[in-house]
Chain A
Amino acid sequence: MKYMLSFTVNGAPADVAVGPTETLLDVLRDRLGFTGAKRGCETGDCGACTVLVDGRSVRSCITLALTVQGKAVTTVEGLARDGKPHPLQQAFHDHGASQCGFCTPGMIVSLAELLEKNPEPCRDDARAAIAGNLCRCTGYVKIIDAAMAAARSPHKKGGPA
């Protein structure tokens, strides 16, 4: 039995027939082609699949797709504004915060939520924001550096960088 799921992804409406056990991650990746959200563990432990649902970060691998009915989903592909990268994306680029890059989308999405909610985060705030995101390459140092740099940007809440 499939149900019609109507929601928006990165501002554009999407209608997909999904089964009751399908995850948001599978719908985003396999049905809609948003492969920026990564499949790292499928148990909600690694955070590589993190997306925003109505502005709140969720692990899409353990979120049933039908629970986002009528909601707004934002993936890493949807953070840029007016063709310019989100300040976090720019800061990750500038600070070498992305190594293998597999955790990067989830890290950026988690931190984007932080910057929306807390305009002046400290390093510990950033650490807490990514407490559910694992990385095996960076030791998290440059990720926190990038988060701090983005927080200093006048456009930290997104919009033109």
Chain B
Amino acid sequence: MAESVIGKRIPKVDSREKVTGQAVYAGDMRMPGMYYGKVVRCWEHAHAKVKKLDFSAALKVPGVVKIIGPDDVTKKPYNTTVMKLLVPEIFGEVFGEIADLNIFNRVVKHQGDAICGVIARTEEAAERAAAKIKVTYEPLPVYMTVEASKAEGKKKNGYLFTPLKPGNLAFDLPESFFPGKRYGWNDKDGKTAEQLFSKCDYIIEDTFYVPKQKQCQMENHSYVAHYDERNRLNIWTSTQMPKPVQVLIAELFELPLTRVRLTQTTVGGGFGVRLGMIGEPHACAMAMAVPGHPVRMEFLREEDWVASETRYPGHIWLKMGFKKDGTPVAVDAMYSARKGGYYTHGSGPPFCAAAFLHGMYKWQALGMQTEGYFTNEVPTGAYRGYGNPQITFAAEQMITKMCNELGLDEIEWRKKWHKSIGDETWLKGVTFASDGLNDCLDVAAKEFGWYEKKKKYAKQTGVKRRGIGLAVMQHTSGAFPMLLEHSVCTAKLNEDCTVELIQQISDLGTGGHTVITQMAAETLGFPMEDIHLKSGDSDMCGFDIGAHASRTIYCAGPATIEACESVKKQLLERAAQLLEANVADLEMKDKIISVKGNPQKSISAVKIAKEGVYNYIDAATGKTIGIPGQIQGYSSFFAKHCSPPYGACMSEVEVDIETGEVKVLNLVNGHDIGKAIHPPSVEGQLEGGAQQGLGFVLTEEYAYDSKGRVLNNDFTDYKMLGPSDMPKAKIILVETAPDPIGPMGVKSCGESALMGPIGSVANAVYDAIGIQIKEAPITPEKVLKAIKEQGLRK
């Protein structure tokens, strides 16, 4: 049998084309007769009415083909998210899903809202014409905070973002489904968290702020759309969710599904921003205006900031009660968030913030409320972690503070009180099947030198003060049972006994294509180079939800394995017939199938595969040679669990008390992966996630002027960490708790990488200066202000 490829540091299957510049992203595509589309956006206002739209000067620009506005496209409102496909209708109603977006708008609800689209023969002509379109606006008041939006919504005849959402409340947990509008549980006597605080010896209560962070995927959103001669709408896009987006496009343009063909191009990073439609409706609308001509539409970087979704910002209030020995009793919480101008993804991230609080520790009772108010900002949506970074930033700071004040060892406390096998995960009714957190804590503490450093930095004086911090997290592997987790794989055995996997796997740079290929190779016992994954074309691939909720390997891997097991089974069955043996007595090694213990009695799998295709008649006997039929394996797999992975992260920082600067010196992140199928990809997720987590906690947030216009819509003013800014980061893959349900023992790693760095850096700052900075990002200004107001630890 070919040597096992599981756990091996082999090159990725898709990296050759990436290192040579041959990988094709949508913006790299050139097609005959191709036109260029440009969306005209409102840059002047965050809230305004379009009074007049004048295309006359723009239409005179040489090369312009057509300009389309609000009256030239469907009036059907839409929602960018694929949520409605992932949940039964009842949940959509529970979460108050509405459709409130339009392709082109007469009312601008945030800077960057689309007004119209220009189609031209060259990109330059499209840009020139776009600049000549005259839009007359009537500015409206802007509502940039929860308080402002709420107050306006309460007024009689106050402004409503949508009549569908009274009071401008985009989302909260409905009483009918969530008693007390809270997600959580009561104690064994039915007492709520609120009711249990009176029984606590130690109570802490605080409010934290979490930032509006941008995904900053390096590839700008780019599309080619083509309404072709067969009256089919073709779209090439780097969406994370090809199948659901195909469905949404068909619904929006009222086309039968079969008339929409979606091809996923190489994805230049996702991180959640591509978890639904972004520019697809605009690109498709322009293509439908010029049938027969492909239209390429690329965002500029500044458009990304104002016209694609972001992390959900807001305030998190937490109240925690404990016994004096640290026994956790009750937690009550509220996440009050700014939604942005439209509903899209309204319910998901705030609900999941509550869910990830739910999944972490063994409280006697827990309740968390969440609400999101409309604001004149670019809408929030999915971003790696989906609520978990927010709650981890707040909750892990509270736990550390409690341990400090009660004199408890914070590592030991977390070991003792985190949920474990048999306990309920983030979702009601689903229990942990494996738990590697204690091992994560032990290996991280050893690598980091936690206790030595704790002692060493106990008494910091001087200008530069060092501190260490810890945070733990749990996440998810797919989102069953809340969301549908369905993946289909067809494994086609070729006549030379090689395999094509036909399966939609969204590889956002995560290594998914490589891992799926490894799983197939392992299952069949074939070499990696004999297996090719064909993905991306909706005409070819079976159903797959796409890449969300850290699901790909956990939920789609089993489909691959089942399809390949079927191929193997069919080969063995044919061999059994030809060898006159029992299937159970056969084994396959290096594509030779033989009777166990009797290697002479064998047949080549290559011969079986070939004869299945070229099933000729033997001239002498008149009978066919071999067994007819090309072998294919197939699986339509529904995941039935969500095996949360754990993680423990430790950070060391140096805080300059004169400048307020926080420098991260060192970071160790132990991750409970279960089994790392492709270690470089897992490490890559965790190393890259650290960059995003550190950005959340230290540098990244939208800044606005008084009119709600984004001040930092480029990489100069929005600071994400560059190569020289990153600390030493050590990633440890903990494989001591393989998951009994995950394929080959795996748990997820895609989103998990952010939470630990976020919480541990916040706690390290607290350790260094004795002050908790409760607002992320922890900027020098906030550190200095806190030192000034609260004074340094004596």
Instruction: Report A's interface with B, CB cutoff 8 A.
Output: 29-30, 33-43, 45-46, 48, 75-77, 80, 85, 88-90, 92-96, 98-105, 108, 127-128, 130-131, 133-144
A77 touches B684 (CB 8 A): no
Main DSSP-derived SS at the A contact region: loop
**Complex CA distance for A99 and B17, rounded to whole angstroms:** 12
Any A CB within 8 A of the CB of B722: yes
A142 touches B715 (CB 8 A): no
B687 touches A142 (CB 8 A): yes
> What distance in Å separates the Cβ of A136 from its nearest Cβ neighbour in chain B?
5
Q: A89-B20, A141-B687 are in contact. Are A127 and B723 (CB under 8 A)?
A: yes
**Complex CA distance for A134 and B123, rounded to whole angstroms:** 26
Q: What are the 3 A-B residue pairs with the smallest beta carbon separation, nearest first? A: A36-B21, A100-B509, A101-B18
Residues of chain B lying within 8 A (CB to CB) of residue A96: 9, 11-12, 15, 511, 678, 680-681, 683-684
Residues of chain A lying within 8 A (CB to CB) of residue B689: 139
Any A CB within 8 A of the CB of B145: no
**Complex CA distance for A50 and B28, rounded to whole angstroms:** 16
> What distance in Å separates the Cβ of A118 from its nearest Cβ neighbour in chain B?
16
Query: Which of B51-59, B264-272, B403-411, B483-491 forms contacts with chain A?
Result: B264-272
**Chain B 680-701 interface mask (CB, 8 Å, partner A; 1/0):** 1101100111111000000000
A136 touches B21 (CB 8 A): no
**Complex CA distance for A131 and B722, rounded to whole angstroms:** 7
**Complex CA distance for A132 and B740, rounded to whole angstroms:** 45
Q: Which residue in A105, A127, A134 is a CB contact (below 8 Å) of B715?
A: A134
Main DSSP-derived SS at the B contact region: loop
Residues of chain B lying within 8 A (CB to CB) of residue A134: 216, 218, 715, 720, 722
**Complex CA distance for A143 and B683, rounded to whole angstroms:** 12
Q: Please, could you name 9 A-B residue pairs with CB atoms under 8 Å apart, sorted by A?
A: A36-B22, A38-B219, A41-B714, A48-B218, A76-B20, A96-B15, A98-B509, A99-B688, A100-B270
Q: Which residue in A98, A127, A141 is a CB contact (below 8 Å) of B18?
A: A98
Interface residues of B in 698-738 (CB under 8 A from A): 714-716, 720, 722-724, 726, 729
Residues of chain B lying within 8 A (CB to CB) of residue A140: 687, 691, 722-723, 726
B723 touches A130 (CB 8 A): yes
A100 touches B123 (CB 8 A): no
Any A CB within 8 A of the CB of B453: no
B687 touches A138 (CB 8 A): yes
B684 touches A99 (CB 8 A): yes
Any A CB within 8 A of the CB of B584: no
Residues of chain B lying within 8 A (CB to CB) of residue A88: 19
Which of A104, A136, A144 neighbours the largest number of chain B CB atoms within 10 Å of its CB? A136
Any A CB within 8 A of the CB of B478: no
**Complex CA distance for A143 and B509, rounded to whole angstroms:** 14
**Chain B 118-133 interface mask (CB, 8 Å, partner A; 1/0):** 0000010000000000
A77 touches B217 (CB 8 A): no
Residues of chain A lying within 8 A (CB to CB) of residue B720: 134, 136
Any A CB within 8 A of the CB of B508: yes
B724 touches A105 (CB 8 A): no
Which of B215, B270, B509 neighbours the largest number of chain A CB atoms within 10 Å of its CB? B509
A102 touches B511 (CB 8 A): no
Q: A136-B688, A138-B688, A142-B684 are in contact. Are A93 and B16 (CB under 8 A)?
A: yes
Any A CB within 8 A of the CB of B23: yes
Any A CB within 8 A of the CB of B184: no
Residues of chain B lying within 8 A (CB to CB) of residue A42: 300-301
B19 touches A92 (CB 8 A): yes
A137 touches B688 (CB 8 A): yes
**Chain B 495-521 interface mask (CB, 8 Å, partner A; 1/0):** 000000000000011110000000000
Instruction: Report B's interface with A, CB cutoff 8 A.
Output: 9, 11-12, 14-25, 27-28, 30, 123, 215-220, 266-271, 298, 300-301, 508-511, 678, 680-681, 683-684, 687-692, 714-716, 720, 722-724, 726, 729
> What distance in Å separates the Cβ of A128 from its nearest Cβ neighbour in chain B?
7
> What distance in Å separates the Cβ of A18 from its nearest Cβ neighbour in chain B?
12
Q: A85-B20, A93-B15 are in contact. Are A100 and B217 (CB under 8 A)?
A: yes
Which of A85, A88, A138, A143 neighbours the largest number of chain B CB atoms within 10 Å of its CB? A138
**Complex CA distance for A107 and B729, rounded to whole angstroms:** 20
A127 touches B724 (CB 8 A): yes
When C-beta atoms are compared, the residue in chain A nearest to B300 turns out to be A42
Residues of chain B lying within 8 A (CB to CB) of residue A37: 21
Q: A35-B28, A127-B723, A139-B691 are in contact. Are A40 and B220 (CB under 8 A)?
A: yes
Which of A36, A48, A139, A141 neighbours the largest number of chain B CB atoms within 10 Å of its CB? A139
Q: Which residue in A48, A105, A128, A136 is a CB contact (below 8 Å) of B692?
A: A136
Q: A38-B219, A45-B714, A45-B715 are in contact. Are A99 and B509 (CB under 8 A)?
A: yes
A43 touches B268 (CB 8 A): no
B219 touches A40 (CB 8 A): yes
Residues of chain A lying within 8 A (CB to CB) of residue B267: 100
Residues of chain B lying within 8 A (CB to CB) of residue A43: 301, 714-716
Residues of chain A lying within 8 A (CB to CB) of residue B18: 92, 98, 101, 104
**Complex CA distance for A110 and B25, rounded to whole angstroms:** 21
**Complex CA distance for A33 and B24, rounded to whole angstroms:** 12
A101 touches B268 (CB 8 A): yes
A46 touches B20 (CB 8 A): no
> What distance in Å separates the Cβ of B429 from its nearest Cβ neighbour in chain A?
35
> What distance in Å separates the Cβ of B404 from its nearest Cβ neighbour in chain A?
30
When C-beta atoms are compared, the residue in chain B nearest to A130 turns out to be B723
B729 touches A139 (CB 8 A): yes
A85 touches B19 (CB 8 A): yes
Residues of chain B lying within 8 A (CB to CB) of residue A138: 684, 687-688, 691
B301 touches A30 (CB 8 A): no
When C-beta atoms are compared, the residue in chain B nearest to A105 turns out to be B21
Q: Which residue in A30, A104, A131 is a CB contact (below 8 Å) of B723?
A: A131
B687 touches A77 (CB 8 A): no
**Complex CA distance for A27 and B714, rounded to whole angstroms:** 23
A136 touches B271 (CB 8 A): yes
Residues of chain A lying within 8 A (CB to CB) of residue B25: 38, 102
> What distance in Å separates the Cβ of A160 from its nearest Cβ neighbour in chain B?
16
**Complex CA distance for A112 and B9, rounded to whole angstroms:** 24
> What distance in Å separates the Cβ of B655 from its nearest Cβ neighbour in chain A?
22
B11 touches A94 (CB 8 A): yes
> What distance in Å separates the Cβ of A16 from its nearest Cβ neighbour in chain B?
15
When C-beta atoms are compared, the residue in chain A nearest to B11 turns out to be A93
**Complex CA distance for A144 and B722, rounded to whole angstroms:** 12
Q: A100-B217, A138-B687 are in contact. Are A75 and B681 (CB under 8 A)?
A: no
**Complex CA distance for A139 and B28, rounded to whole angstroms:** 25
**Complex CA distance for A136 and B510, rounded to whole angstroms:** 12
**Complex CA distance for A43 and B723, rounded to whole angstroms:** 19
**Complex CA distance for A45 and B220, rounded to whole angstroms:** 14
> What distance in Å separates the Cβ of A36 from its nearest Cβ neighbour in chain B?
2
When C-beta atoms are compared, the residue in chain B nearest to A43 turns out to be B714
When C-beta atoms are compared, the residue in chain B nearest to A110 turns out to be B723
